[in-house]
Homo-oligomer: A and B are copies of this chain.
Amino acid sequence: MTSKWTYSFGGGDADGSAQMRNLLGGKGANLHEMSRIGLTVPPGFTITTEVCTHFTETEGDYPDGLNDQVGTAIAKLETIMGAPFGGGQTESKILLLSVRSGARASMPGMMDTVLNLGLNDEAVEILAAETGDERFAYDSYRRFIQMFGDVVLGVDHYHFEDLLEDYKLDHSLKLDTDLTADDWKTLIPDFIEVIENQTGQPFPQDPRQQLWASIGAVFKSWTNKRAETYRRLHGIPASWGTAVNVQAMVFGNMGEDSATGVCFTRNPSTGDNHFYGEYLINAQGEDVVAGIRTPQPLSLAEKENGNLSMPSLEEVMPSLYTELDGVRHTLEQHYKDMQDLEFTIQKGKLWILQTRNGKRTTKAALKIAVDMVDEGLIDRNEAIRRVEPGHLDQLLHPTLDPDAPRDVLSTGLPASPGAASGKLVFSAEDAENWASRGEDVVLARVETSPEDIGGMHVAKGILTTRGGMTSHAAVVARGMGTPCVSGAGDITVDVKAKTLSAMGKTLKEGDVITLDGSTGEVMDGTVATIEPELSGDFATLMEWVDGVRDMAVRANAETPEDAKVARGFGAQGIGLARTEHMFFDADRIIHMREMILAQDVDARRAALGKLLPYQRQDFVDLLSIMEGLPVTIRLLDPPLHEFLPEKKADVEKIAVALGVGVEDVERRAKELHEFNPMLGHRGCRLAITYPEIYEMQARAIFEAAADLAEAGKDVQPEVMIPLVADVEELFRLKDLVVKIADLVLSERGVDVTYSVGTMIELPRAALQAGEIAKEAEFFSFGTNDLTQTTYGLSRDDAGRFLQIYREKGVLEDDPFVTIDQDGVGELVKIGTERGRATRPGMKIGICGEHGGDPASVTFCHKVGLDYVSCSPYRVPIARLAAAQAALGVDAETNA
């Protein structure tokens, strides 16, 4: 018994279906499916992936029976199309074929295609006669020769292009379209000669010989270098193989009764439920998108809405329009999603070339999803699956009016979404001064540091010329919801001269610029913006989302403003309040510096005592805003040198303020300097050496909690010790916190439930999680730092070469944006398993930047985390991603 190697489709029927992806490939299965549901797709047949496997294993042989099956399939095509393949001597019609690859997984651009197959010196005449367009026929023929030469015979395309260029020069022609049928007729023998010279073989005139050569070329392309690299990077096994789709060519340019078009079953910009599309009479598909001719509207309504003058398809070919509108309904009923389809009308007959789920704006995605639930087409869970969580970002910030003109100076990294215009300032101090005068400012820096926090808070937008997606500027800006473009390397910022140069232009302080933090664009002047709308479909969907997800979503926030925004966006508590951010205010940092410059523990305690009231008030604010919800407070984390000034003038100011010598300040700064501060004296290491720092912070937390508890408020502080590498560190510092908590709470006579836990942000901590869980009451994975140490990659420095890695394809995603599941992820898994083995049911979350990345949220769900915590503006994204994860959706990466 011979196996079935070819599957036919077309003529209102199909051997295969959408379910047969593994055997027929993605493209093939889709063509069969369309044909199966009665759409008039150009008929064809699929040669299965099994044939590819046989071909690869035997290095070029085909299985028995294939030859006959292909012959039968072609005969069927000839019947459906009413024309012989390659044309017959007595026929006035001709069947041409396309040959395309189509693997199980999409491998865009990786493999080859041959069009117009079947043309030869005789067939081209038939085509000319049939279409009445000699130029079209000969142009098609030379395109076929060129494509066949390149793809099938391996003749580099520059050979043909050189010939063409010479010809144009000799005849003073500029564009390909300037060539006439006669010009092509002259060139074609030269093209054929090139092939013969390069291959030493005649160009095959026999259509069947052309077909088999093309099929073989597609199968061979499965094992070419480019495809192998792609498979290696995407984890696609070579054993899958590719299918080959052979399909009848149809032409929309066979006269005034022919046409071609592209359409969407609903409006892809707004989501409105009306037919939307464009077409051209007597044209090929590529003409619609090429922009040489202006396409016409599909429907009368569209024409009227757009106030257009060109006639719609509805008017020109009313019955075909009705047929197409029927196809629209068939498709939506079958695929239950908005479709993007291509059609061709060849001599009054409608052919559907392709259908796929249509790309749409986020606004449209929301509307379509909610509408389709109302229409009964899909259920709520399906609606939740339909919206890309990462795309919600577009809705949560003001955006640039897409129609407004823009004068782009440079494109940096889209570090924090949203758009902002403002006057240029070059220092945090200037930002505060200008803002206090009521000016909108954009702060431009080479990079930002914690000292710039004040200025960053008041700026409408932040621009840096260095640093990546997780640089200080980027992280802080995202936390604040302030638009930010980072690492705009083409821009030169001269902070002293207060100028910004790019593209040969120099802007000075006070000049207006506009940032688009969603695209990374930096523009000269003001560009109009549009405000976000969070009600309607958005609110409906988010309500459904919360009913589905089982992971909580918290926010990373420490200012009252951020905490309020977060709660407004639906955050279920704070997962990371960075207490050090509270020390940078002008009236506080002086005490912090006094503490750092102190000579002994008593002097340090005295300075800390001055910080206590501020810190206590911080916690009163945070715990009040988050009443009834948990607030995870991370004790001091950064190395102390981050709090000392760098500029001579500032050093002098501090020396005067604290009554010490400038040289004392400089000496201490020098003592504290580190080569690799990320791996230095920070986190819990500070408190092992200076326990009094955490003592003050613990006191501030529990005094604040006691104040609120006395006022009858439900407060839930969770104290988090950072950068633990060994349980011994946590043992000592937990003991310190618990002692102070018990002291304060018993002094005050109030009862506050609290817990003490740790960040797992070092590989060692993840490995030692079983031991650490003996002390830790909760874990929070600090995946920013964990990524840095697991990968040996500094997020402040890696921007430049990570970009090269991604350009060269060494790395697919930025591991600071989407969690590296193979490395960092394994440590998260290990840490979770070992932690819960020691302390069953332990509460575990994640508070790195990854908490707001959909793919990472999916991963967290799979690992079994209790919550994710992310910057306030990403809370809705995380909520949706968590719901999708609960529904089993594998989110795409957000990078």
Contacts and interface: CB of A to CB of B under 8 A. Distances in A.
A171 to B, nearest CB: 39
Contact of A676 (B761, B794, B826): B794
A369 to B, nearest CB: 37
Interface in A797-828: 797-798, 800-801, 804-805, 808, 810-811, 820, 822-824, 826-827
A725 interface: yes
Interface in A440-486: none
Nearest to A785: B792
Contact of A763 (B233, B681, B763): B763
A262 interface: no
A790 B789 contact: yes
Contacts of A796: 674-676
A836 interface: no
A680 interface: yes
B793 A679 contact: yes
Nearest to A691: B808
A374 to B, nearest CB: 47
A67 to B, nearest CB: 39
A153 interface: no
A767 interface: yes
Contacts of A211: none
Contact of A768 (B723, B785, B822): B822
Contact of A679 (B232, B797, B804): B797
A676 B797 contact: yes
A714 B824 CA distance: 43
Q: How many copies of this chain? A: 2
A791 interface: yes
Given A688-B801, A823-B725, A794 B764 contact: no
A729 interface: yes
Contact of A675 (B764, B771, B797): B797
A532 interface: no
A89 interface: no
Nearest to A796: B675
Contacts of A793: 679, 725
A788 interface: yes
A105 interface: no
A626 to B, nearest CB: 30
A689 interface: yes
Given A676-B679, A681-B801, A794-B674, A729 B789 contact: no
Contact of A677 (B676, B681, B726, B771): B676
Interface residues of A, number: 51
Contacts of A826: 767
A732 interface: yes
A764 B728 CA distance: 25
Nearest to A808: B688
Interface string A671-690: 00011111111000100110
Consensus secondary structure, chain A interface: helix
A8 to B, nearest CB: 41
A762 interface: yes
Contacts of A675: 677-678, 794, 796-797
Interface string A645-681: 0000000000000000000000000000011111111
Contacts of A811: 726, 728
Interface in A680-730: 680-681, 685, 688-689, 723, 725-726, 728-729
Interface in A734-791: 761-764, 767-768, 771, 785, 788-791
Contact of A767 (B771, B794, B827): B827
Nearest to A233: B728
A685 to B, nearest CB: 5
A472 to B, nearest CB: 10
Q: Of residues A689, A763, A790, which shows the largest number of chain B Cβ atoms within 10 Å of its Cβ?
A: A763
B767 A823 contact: yes
A102 to B, nearest CB: 27
A771 B822 CA distance: 10
B801 A685 contact: yes
Given A726-B811, A767-B826, A762 B785 contact: no
A810 B800 CA distance: 38
Contacts of A763: 763, 789-790, 792, 823, 827
Contact of A792 (B762, B768, B797, B827): B762
A68 to B, nearest CB: 42
A833 to B, nearest CB: 14
Interface of A: 232-233, 674-681, 685, 688-689, 723, 725-726, 728-729, 731-732, 761-764, 767-768, 771, 785, 788-794, 796-798, 800-801, 804-805, 808, 810-811, 820, 822-824, 826-827
15 contacts: A232-B728, A674-B794, A678-B792, A679-B679, A679-B788, A679-B793, A680-B797, A681-B801, A688-B810, A725-B823, A726-B810, A762-B791, A763-B790, A763-B823, A763-B827
Given A764-B820, A768-B822, 10 more contacts: A232-B728, A674-B794, A681-B797, A681-B801, A688-B801, A725-B793, A728-B810, A761-B792, A768-B823, A789-B792
Q: What 10 A-B pairs have minimum CB-CB distances, sorted nearest first? A: A764-B823, A679-B794, A676-B794, A763-B763, A762-B792, A674-B797, A675-B796, A680-B797, A676-B678, A676-B676
